[in-house]
Amino acid sequence: MEHGTGGDPSQDPRVADLRTRLETAYTESAAPSERARAKLDSQGKLYVRERIALLFDEGTFVEDGRYANATAQGLPADGVVTGRGEVDGRPAIVVANDPTVKAGSWGARTVEKIIRATEAALREELPLFWFVDSAGARITDQVDLFPGRRGAGRIFHNQVALSGKVPQICCLFGPSAAGGAYIPSFTDVIIMVEGNASMYLGSPRMAEMVVGEKVSLEEMGGARMHCTVSGVGDLLAADDTEAIELARHLFSYLPDTWHDPVPHYETEPPARPLTRDAVPEAESVPFDVHEVIEGLVDDDSFFEIKPLFAPELVVGLGRMEGRTVGIVANNSAVKGGVLFTDSADKASRFIWLCDAYGIPLLYLADVPGFMIGSEVERGGIIRHGAKMVSAVSEATVPQLCVVVRKAYGAGLYAMGGPGFGPEATIALPTARIAVMGPEAAVNAVYANKIAQIEDPQEQAAFVEARRAEYLEDVDLERLAADLVIDAVVEPEDLREEVARRFRYAARRDRHFSTRHRSIPPV
């Protein structure tokens, strides 16, 4: 067979041509154009490959589908980079939109690459990092990417199948628009870059056209709004680099898969020991529960989740003796630590996260109960409260309830109280457990009698006597004697008590109930 006239007969010009075309396609996806780079710089963004280089250990990334849509002009890798590498020596997969390619929009091959990445994560049980920066589907390609069996819907289907099986961590660097906004929502934790990240089902322009609402992008779907108001966002980052650092840090607390143990690190003493001064004895005096948390966990190991959303409840991951624990703590410094619909939502999702990945749960209770009033009733406080109680009930990881101060009404139940099968219910000497606080209880029982006493001094004496009777009825020693409380410890002994009990509970049976599934009151 002849390969043309002249030259080396062992060479085929078609191969040379192919090499040239592949090299051109490779180069086009290796770096942004000057114009695209200028736009990224103006937005304070990193190029997609720079983001991936920050995520993975150097030299470990292997890419799939780099030549997707290579025959089309201006669509290098079809706008998404997928592949795998190692994060601190642990294998993981990444799906990363390239906003310099048609604003990171999806074409048919974009969707196929993402589906293949999720299939690999399912097949090999590999953690998945989502680097989202996308304007959504290309309307011109909608028939090819939207409705079919391997259309965009398959991505969401696979994400749900991955949920609780392997960690899914999302860094949202730019927009996540329309149906694409659901990709972050199906992940475990969403880290949003302030000023750049946004999530919305319809753009402000669409909202004005369809419903007549004039609103800015930041107000409708910006990062700070989602991290403070909607609760869709979990963490707010200053820039791309911080977002990726947070993602790597979070990953260090999580196992590779649902059936693997959490990573183990060297034990470090707390930043400062927990002392009796940390918890005011008077339940009416607010204090920041972060000080208690810092006195329990290894030094500088508390990783708070949703710190800007529903701050009356603190949730996050920490380490005790080098192992991950999940912490759910009422914070009386904010709204008295009362539970609202948002705090119940926040707690439920965090408890599900810990239960999925075998992370023991520590509840630090200082709660007057759930909020009351017409506004919260109309907002579904009963339904949301029931969701939190359901999450506590169904969790099969080791759980410990520590009553730091007050635990009133259903607040005791929501914070893993004795009726929910914790490994133990531990109390500090400042603890008090009751259906309600003494003032409310006396008023509820004796309101008519109090009203009948005209003399103010006599009325005050009557109220104080009834209050003393109530407090005697719920005395902590009596609760311990009646086995409501398993142990009463001083703050300085609490860390060792909790750590020891978690060690002993490591082989706990994880079975809860035989059925297809529960019907959560969400």
| Tens of pLDDT, residues 139-183 | 888 888 888 899 889 999 999 999 999 999 999 999 998 878 899
| Helix%, strand%, coil% for the chain, nearest 5 | 45, 20, 40
Calpha distance 122→109 (Å, rounded) = 20
Sign of the Cα torsion 428, 434, 436, 437 reads negative
Maximum separation of any 2 CA atoms in the chain, in Å: 120
**pLDDT value for 5:** 53
Neighbour tally for 518: CB within 10 Å: 11
For residues 130 and 135, what is the distance between their CA atoms, to the nearest angstrom?
15
pLDDT in tens, 98-124: 999 999 999 899 999 999 999 999 999
Burial (0-12, 13-18, 19+ Cβ within 10 Å), 286: middle
Write down the pLDDT at residue 268: 95
* pLDDT at residue 376 tops 60: yes
Residue 1, pLDDT above cutoff 50? no
Q: What are 190's strand-pairing partners? A: 170
Does residue 184 sit in helix, strand or coil?
helix
pLDDT over 80 at 519, yes or no: yes
Per-residue pLDDT, averaged over 308-332, amounts to 98
Token readout for 408 is 């009133």
Q: What is the CA radius of gyration of the chain?
A: 28
Give me the phi and psi of 346, to 5 degrees please: -60, -45
End-to-end CA distance of the chain: 71
Q: What is the pLDDT of residue 191?
A: 98
pLDDT of the residue at 484: 95
pLDDT at residue 40 greater than cutoff 70? yes
Task: Take residue 267 and report the two structure tokens written for it.
Answer: 């034990």
Q: Kindly list the distances between the CA atom of residue 409 and the CA atoms of 275, 368, 370, 436, 440, in Å, as whole numbers in the listed order.
A: 28, 7, 8, 6, 12
Least trusted range by pLDDT, from 78-92, 396-410, 418-432, 508-522:
508-522
Which one, of 165, 35, 40, lies nearest residue 99 by Cα?
40
Measured from the Cβ of residue 66, the count of other Cβ atoms closer than 10 Å reads 18
Q: In the structure encoding, which two tokens stand for residue 455, read together?
A: 């003399």
For tokens 């049976």, the residue is: 509
Q: What is the pLDDT of residue 306?
A: 98
Beta-carbon neighbour count of residue 450 at 10 Å? 15
Q: Give the model confidence (pLDDT) of 222-273 as tens digits.
A: 999 999 999 999 999 999 999 999 999 999 999 999 999 999 999 999 999 9
Query: Is 290 within 8 Å of 268 (Cβ atoms)?
Result: no
Q: What is the reported pTM?
A: 0.94
Report, as an integer, the average pLDDT of 483-504.
Answer: 97
pLDDT on residue 6? 61
pLDDT of residue 349: 97
Mean pLDDT of 120-135: 97
The residues that bridge with 399 in the sheet, in sequence order, are 361
pLDDT at 53: 98
Tell me the per-residue pLDDT of 249-259, one tens digit each, with 9 for 90 and over. Answer: 999 999 999 99
